[in-house]
């Protein structure tokens, strides 16, 4: 995938994530999008646990028993928008103005999650080891399991 196409697809997926509300405990729709994107990008393994965390793995072709694993984690939940009248941009529109995207969760952490999913998904597989992405839920969803 060319760098321009990778950048474009990463931005488009960031927008899709921002446009999908995902308050803590309500991440199901974003988790579904993340799982679908990992499958589209050819991750070797993709699963969702009973709490809604999504785990995707890309396995290098040169992997051995002593190969390293690298884990990237990004959360899918957002905090409330608060009073909407205080927003300059609609918090779920993912508007881009002068090269900047605006919306709830853009920086924390939906664009970051889109970036790591696309970076790992577009890698050449000629490496040794495993790259793992955890798209995790907010604590409100699992506090009753502690």
Residue 50's domain is classified under what CATH number? 3.40.630.10
Q: What is the pLDDT of residues 48-64, one digit of tens each?
A: 998 899 999 999 998 88
Say if 69 falls within a structural domain. Answer: yes
What pTM value is reported for the model? 0.92
Say if 30 falls within a structural domain. Answer: yes
Q: What is the pLDDT of residues 73-129, one digit of tens each?
A: 999 999 999 999 999 999 999 999 999 999 999 999 999 999 999 999 999 999 999
Say if 33 falls within a structural domain. Answer: yes
Which residues span the domain enclosing 25?
Answer: 3-79+102-141
Say if 123 falls within a structural domain. Answer: yes
Say if 85 falls within a structural domain. Answer: no
Query: What long-range pairs does 102-107 form, CB within 8 A, spacing at least 24?
Result: 103/18, 103/19, 104/18, 104/21, 104/78, 104/79, 105/17, 105/18, 105/22, 105/78, 106/14, 106/18
Are 91 and 17 within 8 A, CB to CB?
no
Quick one: pLDDT band at residue 140, thresholds 50, 70, 90? low
Query: How many distinct structural domains can be found in the chain?
Result: 1
């Amino acid at each position: 995938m060319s760098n321009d196409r990778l950048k474009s697809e990463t931005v488009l997926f960031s927008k899709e994530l921002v446009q999908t509300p995902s308050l803590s405990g309500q991440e199901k729709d974003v988790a579904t999008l993340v799982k679908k994107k990992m499958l589209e990008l050819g991750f070797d393994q993709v699963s969702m646990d009973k709490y809604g965390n999504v785990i995707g793995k890309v396995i290098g072709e040169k992997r051995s028993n002593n190969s390293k694993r690298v884990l990237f984690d990004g959360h899918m939940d957002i905090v409330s928008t608060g009073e909407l009248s205080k927003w300059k941009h609609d918090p779920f529109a993912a508007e881009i103005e002068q090269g900047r995207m605006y919306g709830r969760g853009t920086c924390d952490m939906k664009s970051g999650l889109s970036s790591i999913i696309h970076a790992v998904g577009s890698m050449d597989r000629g490496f040794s080891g495993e790259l793992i992405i955890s798209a995790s839920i907010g604590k409100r969803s699992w506090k009753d399991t502690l």
